[in-house]
Amino acid sequence: MNAEQHTHFSTCTLCEAMCGIEVKTQGLEILSIVGDKQNPFSEGHVCPKAMALKDLYDDPQRIKSPIQRTKDGWQTISWDAALDQVAEQLFAIQQQHGKDAVGLYLGNPNAHNMGAILFGPYFYRALKSFNRFSATSVDQLPHHIVSRQLFGHMSQIPIPDIDRTQYFMIIGGNPLASNGSIMTVPHVKRRLKAIQARGGKVVVIDPKRSETAEISSEHLFIKPGSDALLMLAMLHTLFAKKLVNAANVLAITPDLLGVEAFVAAYPPERVAGVIGIKAEDIERLVTEFCAADGAICYGRMGASVQVFGTLTQYLIMLFNMLSGNLDKPGGMMFTQPAADLLPHASPGTIGQYHSRVRKLPAFAGEYPVSALAEEITTPGAGQIKAMVIGAGNPVLTTPNGQQLDEAFASLEFMVAIDFFVTETSRHANIILPPVTALERDHYDIIFHKFAVRNSAKYSQAIFPVDENTRTDWQIYLALAERLDKLNGTDTGKYASLWRKQPKGLIDDMLKLSAYQHAGEPLSLATLIANPHGLDLGPLQSNLPAAIYHPDKHIALHFDYFMADLARLEQHFFTQPDEAENVNSLALIGRRHLKSNNSWLHNSQRMVKGTNNGLSRCTAQLHPDDAERFAIQDKQMIEVRSRVGTISLPAEITEHIMPGVISIPHGWGHNKTGSAWAVAEQHAGVSVNDLTDEMVLDELSGNAVLNGVPIWIKAITAQA
């Protein structure tokens, strides 16, 4: 007899959009995944990635029990044996070489996992190592530093109030492909079109005419890495045209008008030729922005992962403040999530200590990941001898991946918390596989904080966890307890933590919120009784309460941020061009709606489809550059940087500006020893074999992925 069919209401965790999903199951089989039309936040919208949740669950190559690498290949071992061995190996290496001999790298799936967010820190603290790294420093680190300095907490990041704005300026972002990104926003295409339908304007500034640019009101090309100059000129224009309108924040930001002195040297006429945008267009953009009743200047990935990423994000925030659009409906606003982690989390420390080899600054207890390989390969006290990799694939996703790949091969021990043998986890001695997203309870502890509207949603596990499976939080807590026991640390707290579980902490935070439902305070029980989620209303003005500094003032830290103007001057105006750079192109990345870094490429439905007869991993070039280098469409080309060389097909398109080459991120599934067959059939190449670990945003240590100089040449006849 067939098992009974059931309908569950859950959340897609494959990007930041928090789309509600309706999942039909029969026994342990997923029959379908569609959008939950009754979800008040996403209103039935899902992108093609939602069905990948089924593919991850069903994948025959997914690891379901711990495995150990032996001379005869991978062998399955029990959970107790695996956890014991991992704890004992880490402990032994730390006893021999010191606490910092074990490094930790966390990938971005941790941010989509309430158990990892809430209980992972118990393991990190038990490890007691300063050698911590994460995907943050190849992504959003500038956002965190700006928010830490200005508003007092690294995660108090103002979010675009997209549903009420009249002018949305997007710098280096492509929300139609990313579904937001530090802007949790389902159905973003509909929302962007709604701005235009109500008489507003959407402007995209990007070196590529992206999917978002295609539906925008206006798109302007900009030379990669020059966004800080654009923002300086826009701020200059605010003052020159007497458009400053900051009355709503001056009382708590008394030094704000002092920005004028720093931007005086950057009129639009001075920067126009450098950035590729006409001076009159810069002035027009500022005038239009200030005339709108609610305007947003939003800078994302492209604005962050460049030589002046932190300065750029800082200047973007100043522009929103000085134009009167911070904490204003239709502008950049602070969220008020129901379960707010910020009051219970560290605000983020800056530069308290530095990496051993290159002396790069730590932020929030993490070093820039660009320093990871050298910390493994450079002998001496504090050298990393073992690694813990939590839900990450840094061989493909961090700078100079080939160098990191070789460094991992030299380790004495590695453990990976992952359910695939990836390009990174293939180096592990033991792999501890957590369950997939639909097999664990879920509450978006991070992305409710970044949402364009306040809401709350708790998703219960669709499939039960049994004695043969573990969630991430169970893995982390079991390792923490074992390490503390080996170190002679009191383990009395763990009994209550096992009982409490992450959902108990969520319940505590919900009960502390100011929100109510049906006249009663929010609780976990309330959300379970409302499986589609609860709408908690639009974003609300919240200054000065939103500030985490004790004096409730926005701290501008001119001495920290504006000191970078000297480096900017040197870089753009006094640095002589090297002869070799004359024939170089500037590298940028790109995203695709069906890709999410490297970890959806083993889903056939995510990699299938045509791209004019090409795979999605191509080098996009402007026709002028193709002619200059005698390259034809679909022709294989060699792409070289200081650190590496890759070969891939050229895709000639006018959607990219001259002098720029675009290669997508997350490909390169061609390493011996990995085990995901579909991904290997669509291997592509890793753009991070080109990115340079020695080139950083010096203010933050964030990786530079955009603007890297590269050289190209044809290597085959036309296909």
Instruction: Measure Cα distances from 14 to 453, 476, 488, 594 in Å.
Output: 19, 21, 39, 10
Burial letters 124-144, b for 16+ CB under 10 A, else e: bebbebbbbbbbbbbbbbbbb
pTM of the full structure: 0.97
Helices (H), 98-184: 114-127, 141-151, 175-178
Q: Pairing between strand 660-662 and 619-621?
A: antiparallel
Angle subtended at Cα 180 by Cα 174 and Cα 183, rounded to the nearest 5 degrees: 130
pLDDT for 580: 55
Neighbours of 579 (CB within 10 A): 7
- For CA atoms 438, 442, 446, 452, the dihedral sign is positive
Length of the chain: 719
- Per CATH, 5-58 and 159-333 having the same topology is answered no
Whole-number Å distance between alpha carbons of 322 and 248: 10
Whole-number Å distance between alpha carbons of 230 and 236: 10
Is the Cβ–Cβ distance between 312 and 233 less than 8 Å? Answer: no
The CATH classification of domain 73-138+346-451+464-512, taken from the options 1.10.150.130, 3.40.190.150, 1.10.3720.10, 3.40.50.740: 3.40.50.740
pLDDT for 351: 85
Residue (of 539, 4, 562) closest to 263 by Cα position: 562
Q: Which two tokens stand for residue 127?
A: 């490890």
Neighbours of 567 (CB within 10 A): 16
User: Quick one: how far is CA 676 from the chain centroid?
Assistant: 23
Cβ-in-10-Å burial (0-12, 13-18, 19+) of 650 comes to buried
268-275 helix and 279-291 helix, angle to the nearest 10 degrees = 110
Residue (of 478, 415, 397) closest to 122 by Cα position: 478
- 421 secondary structure, DSSP code: B
Phi-psi region of 391 (alpha: psi -120 to 50; beta: other; left: phi over 0): left
Helices (H), 1-140: 52-58, 79-97, 114-127
Residue (of 169, 168, 190) closest to 179 by Cα position: 190
Which residues fall within 8 angstroms of residue 164, CB to CB, at 6 or more apart? 294, 329, 330, 538
Distance in angstroms between the alpha carbons of the first and the last residue of the chain? 54
3-state SS, one letter per residue, for 177-199: HHCCCCCECCCHHHHHHHHHHCC
Whole-number Å distance between alpha carbons of 716 and 530: 59
Instruction: Measure Cα distances from 429 to 67, 76, 308, 432, 637 in Å.
Output: 8, 12, 39, 10, 37
User: Quick one: how far is CA 395 from the chain centroid?
Assistant: 16
Neighbours of 530 (CB within 10 A): 18
Helices (H), 10-68: 52-58
Neighbours of 682 (CB within 10 A): 17
Whole-number Å distance between alpha carbons of 703 and 696: 5
Phi-psi region of 324 (alpha: psi -120 to 50; beta: other; left: phi over 0): left
> What fold characterizes domain 159-333?
Dimethylsulfoxide Reductase; domain 2 (3.40.228)
Q: Which two tokens stand for residue 360?
A: 């790069």
Is the Cβ–Cβ distance between 372 and 103 less than 8 Å? Answer: yes
Q: Which two tokens stand for residue 689?
A: 């074999």
619: amino acid identity, one letter = A
DSSP 3-state helix, strand, coil percentages of the chain (rounded to 5)? Answer: 35, 20, 45
Give the domain ranges of the chain.
5-58, 73-138+346-451+464-512, 159-333, 576-714
pLDDT for 221: 98
- Indicate the class that CATH gives domain 5-58: alpha beta
Q: Which two tokens stand for residue 119?
A: 């209980």
Is the Cβ–Cβ distance between 689 and 400 less than 8 Å? Answer: yes
Neighbours of 17 (CB within 10 A): 31
The helix/strand count (H/E) of the chain reads as 25, 32
- Indicate the class that CATH gives domain 576-714: mainly beta
Residue (of 118, 195, 126) closest to 161 by Cα position: 195
Is the Cβ–Cβ distance between 343 and 153 less than 8 Å? Answer: no
Q: Which two tokens stand for residue 285?
A: 């953009």
Whole-number Å distance between alpha carbons of 323 and 165: 14
pLDDT for 719: 43
Ranges of residues in the chain with a pLDDT under 70 are: 1, 576-582, 610-613, 716-719
Whole-number Å distance between alpha carbons of 40 and 154: 28
Question: If DSSP codes are grouped into helix, strand and coil, which group holds residue 536?
Answer: strand
Give the HSE-up count for residue 567: Cα atoms under 13 Å, Cβ half-sphere.
16
Is the Cβ–Cβ distance between 703 and 138 less than 8 Å? Answer: yes
3-state SS, one letter per residue, for 373-400: HHHHHCCCCCCCCEEEEECCCHHHHCCC
What are residue 30's phi and psi, to 5 degrees? -90, 120
Question: If DSSP codes are grouped into helix, strand and coil, which group holds residue 636?
Answer: strand
Helices (H), 241-379: 247-250, 259-263, 268-275, 279-291, 301-304, 309-322, 372-377
